[in-house]
A = this chain, B = another copy of it.
Amino acid sequence: METIVVFGLGLIGGSMALALKNENRMLIGVDNNETNANKALELGIVNRLGTLQDVANADVVIVAVPVNFAPELTLKVLDLINPKTLVFDVGSVKSAICKAVKNHPKRINFVAAHPIAGTEYSGPEAAFKQLFINKKNIICESNKSGNIFLKKALNLFDALQMTTTFMEAKAHDRHIAYVSHLSHISSFMLGKTVLEIEKDEKSIFTMAGSGFASTVRLSKSSPSTWTPIFIQNKDNILKSLEEYIKNLNQFKELLKQEAEADLYKSMKSTHHLKNILSEIK
């Protein structure tokens, strides 16, 4: 019987527990939020609830708590595990956690992972076991993980039907700012802008169609998850945000001048995305 302890029973941790659960595995869940913990147990996401002490007898520990809590928790877990235990996290920012564990005597037991999967929903009720199928996983600083632990982690991600790519933590954080974090901010602020105007224009949402719904979908994401991600990846996000705002301002100026050809060109330039997006699962 393999014992897996999962910290954080929300969308990601809960889905991972559901996807890995089978008759040969004991899933133990830990969540500071008692309501969520009980909900996860009730939904059959884990076999039982536990505490930090359970990691001493675990084969695998999954850290799926918000990124501001993950580095400290991972250090505590590494202190308590036996030498054969694999520990991995699933956070959307990788530099801070890699830096935190850097000099831990059990650094080799740790794998820094980012399974790129999610929905705009959160909490154990949002968890489902197919979440990771055909999605991408990034492992950072893999040379700092022991081979046996890296292999064990890769086997688990294979079982989740994910494709894993390797990357330095700094490159990961720089890239993910553009293709994930910025999308969330643009969506949150679009939602905010439209809600503000709705105060004066009550009927505005009777006109919202599927295009609006798609663009603001991410604004339904959990602020508790995303606030610490934005803060932890601040420098990269500020850079991407500045470039986004610069492009919006340029577009605004072109529109002011009714510069038809330039507006057209500016939009046409993104059409290369068609091919890229068709490959995104």
Residues of A within 8 A of B (CB): 116-120, 135-136, 138, 165, 167, 171-172, 174-176, 178-180, 182-197, 201, 203-221, 223-224, 226-228, 230-231, 234, 237-238, 240-245, 247-249, 251-252, 255-256, 258, 260, 263-264, 266-274, 276-277, 279-281
Extra 6 A-B pairs, beta carbons < 8 Å, given A217-B277, A230-B255, A244-B248: A136-B206, A192-B266, A195-B269, A223-B263, A241-B251, A241-B252
Which chain B residue shows the least CB distance to A267? B223
Contacts of A171 in B (CB 8 A): 201, 203
The contact of A273 among B216, B255, B269, by CB within 8 Å, is: B216
Query: Once bound together, how far apart are the Cα atoms of A219 and B269, in whole Å?
Result: 10
How many chain copies?
2
Contacts of A215 in B (CB 8 A): 183, 186-187, 214-215, 217-218
Query: Once bound together, how far apart are the Cα atoms of A194 and B240, in whole Å?
Result: 8
The contact of A213 among B167, B264, B277, by CB within 8 Å, is: B277
Do residues A231 and B217 form an inter-chain contact, with CB atoms below 8 A?
A: no
Contacts of A179 in B (CB 8 A): 194, 204-205, 207-209, 212
Do residues B210 and A270 form an inter-chain contact, with CB atoms below 8 A?
A: no
Query: Once bound together, how far apart are the Cα atoms of A263 and B260, in whole Å?
Result: 37
Do residues B210 and A281 form an inter-chain contact, with CB atoms below 8 A?
A: yes
Do residues B188 and A270 form an inter-chain contact, with CB atoms below 8 A?
A: yes
Query: Once bound together, how far apart are the Cα atoms of A45 and B215, in whole Å?
Result: 30
Query: Once bound together, how far apart are the Cα atoms of A266 and B263, in whole Å?
Result: 31
Do residues B193 and A240 form an inter-chain contact, with CB atoms below 8 A?
A: yes
Contacts of A175 in B (CB 8 A): 201, 203-204, 207
The contact of A242 among B211, B224, B252, B269, by CB within 8 Å, is: B252
Contact A116/B207 with A231-B255, A238-B256 known, Cβ cut-off 8 Å: yes
Query: Once bound together, how far apart are the Cα atoms of A41 and B58, in whole Å?
Result: 66
Do residues B252 and A245 form an inter-chain contact, with CB atoms below 8 A?
A: yes
Do residues B243 and A193 form an inter-chain contact, with CB atoms below 8 A?
A: yes
Query: Once bound together, how far apart are the Cα atoms of A243 and B192, in whole Å?
Result: 10
The contact of A255 among B117, B187, B207, B234, by CB within 8 Å, is: B234
The contact of A245 among B203, B226, B248, by CB within 8 Å, is: B248
Contacts of A242 in B (CB 8 A): 252
Do residues B276 and A255 form an inter-chain contact, with CB atoms below 8 A?
A: no
Contacts of A201 in B (CB 8 A): 171, 174-175, 178
For the complex formed, measure the closest distance between the CB of A154 and the CB atoms of chain B, giving whole angstroms: 17
Query: Once bound together, how far apart are the Cα atoms of A221 and B267, in whole Å?
Result: 9
Contact A247/B189 with A263-B230, A273-B195 known, Cβ cut-off 8 Å: yes
Query: Once bound together, how far apart are the Cα atoms of A223 and B260, in whole Å?
Result: 10
Do residues B204 and A178 form an inter-chain contact, with CB atoms below 8 A?
A: yes
